[in-house]
Amino acid sequence: MGDVYNFNWTDLGDLAVGRPNLGEETSVIVYRLMQYTFKDVLSKEIGKQRAVELFVQAGLLAGKEFCNNVLDTSLSFNAFIADLKDKLVALKVGVLRVEEADMDQLKFVLTVAEDLDCSGLPIFGESVCDYDEGFIAGIFEQYTGKKFTVKEVDCWATGDRTCRFEVKPIEG
């Protein structure tokens, strides 16, 4: 993914000026309405697999930008993860937990409870947190300087009650 994107964090605007009465929060329903209608339209237009790939790419870009603009990359790993956990809760994205961490190989298993993208969804029989896979990969890439692959192995939409992600560096 050597593409250069035009998005910049400042493109999100000044919410204090633009939303003086409503503020920076919105409903999870509105967020999901946008996400799932985008995914449905893209799937019909370019195919489901390509739509999923694009959601992962968008999540990757978002994760990098989030890391650069919201997190402190100068922290030790444990402090960085603590900061990430705090920010995800404060922004109501989800409750992050590290289940496994192999610092030598940079392999991790993370869970996100009350996930913004899927908690409470009907069971679809397949994981749906493609954007989250990219988002997590982007954060880890920005923090470590290495590229990562993230795979959701448990999801609310598959009948689990938390999202579980396997995180590992891309070899090469």
Which tens digits make up the pLDDT trace of 91-150? 999 999 999 999 999 999 999 999 999 999 999 899 999 999 999 999 999 999 999 999
- Answer whether residue 1 shows pLDDT above 60: no
Q: Domain residue spans in the chain?
A: 13-169
pLDDT in tens, 18-51: 999 999 999 999 999 999 999 999 999 999 999 9
Amino acid 66 reads F
Categorize the per-residue pLDDT at 2 as very low, low, confident or very high, splitting at 50, 70 and 90.
low
DSSP 171: P
Pick the CATH number of 13-169 from 3.10.310.30, 3.30.1380.20, 3.40.50.170, 3.30.70.100: 3.30.1380.20
Q: Where are the alpha helices (DSSP H) in the chain?
A: 15-18, 28-46, 48-70, 77-90, 130-144
Do the Cβ atoms of 31 and 94 come closer than 8 Å?
Answer: no
